[in-house]
Amino acid sequence: MNFPMSRSWKKASLTVVTLGVAAAIAMANPAASTPVGAGSSGTTGFGRNAALSQTSGHINWLVPSDGPYPTIHKGDDIAIYVSISRQRVTIFRGMQVIYTMVASTGIDDANGDGTPHGTFYIQRQRGTFFYAPGEKEGARYWVSWLHHGEYLFHSVPVDRENHIIVSEAMKLGHEASHGCVRLTVPDAHWFYQNIPYHARVMIGE
């Protein structure tokens, strides 16, 4: 099995997603202009994620973000758009939005842990679990999109024993990672099982 690389590195400067792409996404998904916490279904939370707690405001990292998952067929034109400002991952089939996920991207700080902006492609490396001793955390269901195991889509963090780190999972929906894109556990599982190699990944505001 291939494992992601442990990271404590500076992030490279990469091409920003063009305004044309952002405009196309806005036209295809008008709900994307709604603020964080207002889902595409018009309910509280991301899409139909009923787990946006009415008391704590925390996203439930153990349930799907947007109801039942779509079926992806071989040959479908699949693309992924990651919105840093909204902390959402939107899955497209062609120009049609088929699913929206709550996410946590990188903390844009002096350590250079922000999530790179630009256009990338899903790589061959993926797996069901990893643990990075240097970061003292790992994740379930990871899929690489840059530098062959360095930048990933994956679940909320887990410890060495594959137990969810609750203090980190509670940050879902806010910038929290070292540059990867965190998802709920079932979202990460579906992503790992269904998103095809070389699907386009666009990351912008």
Can you tell me the distance from the alpha carbon of 166 to that of 164, in angstroms, rounded to the nearest whole number?
A: 6
Query: In this structure, is residue 14 part of a structural domain?
Result: no
Query: In this structure, is residue 83 part of a structural domain?
Result: yes
Q: Is 198 marked active-site? A: no
Q: Hunting for tokens 């071989």 — which residue is that? A: 74
Query: In this structure, is residue 7 part of a structural domain?
Result: no
Q: How many domains does the chain have?
A: 1
Residue 172 sits in a domain whose CATH number is: 2.40.440.10
Query: In this structure, is residue 12 part of a structural domain?
Result: no
Percentage of the chain beyond pLDDT 70 is: 73
Query: In this structure, is residue 9 part of a structural domain?
Result: no
Alpha carbon separation from 192 to 1, 33, 109, 144, 169 (Å, rounded): 14, 27, 28, 10, 19
Q: What is the domain extent for residue 70?
A: 19-204
Catalytic member of 73, 148, 154, 163: 154
pLDDT in tens, 18-67: 334 444 455 444 344 333 333 333 333 444 554 444 345 789 999 999 99
Catalytic member of 117, 180, 189, 198: 180
**Predicted pLDDT at 143:** 98
Query: In this structure, is residue 1 part of a structural domain?
Result: no
Q: H/E element holding 168?
A: helix 166-169
Check residues 187 and 109 and name the one with the higher pLDDT.
187
Determine which of 48-52, 77-81, 82-86, 132-136 has the lowest per-residue pLDDT on average. Answer: 48-52
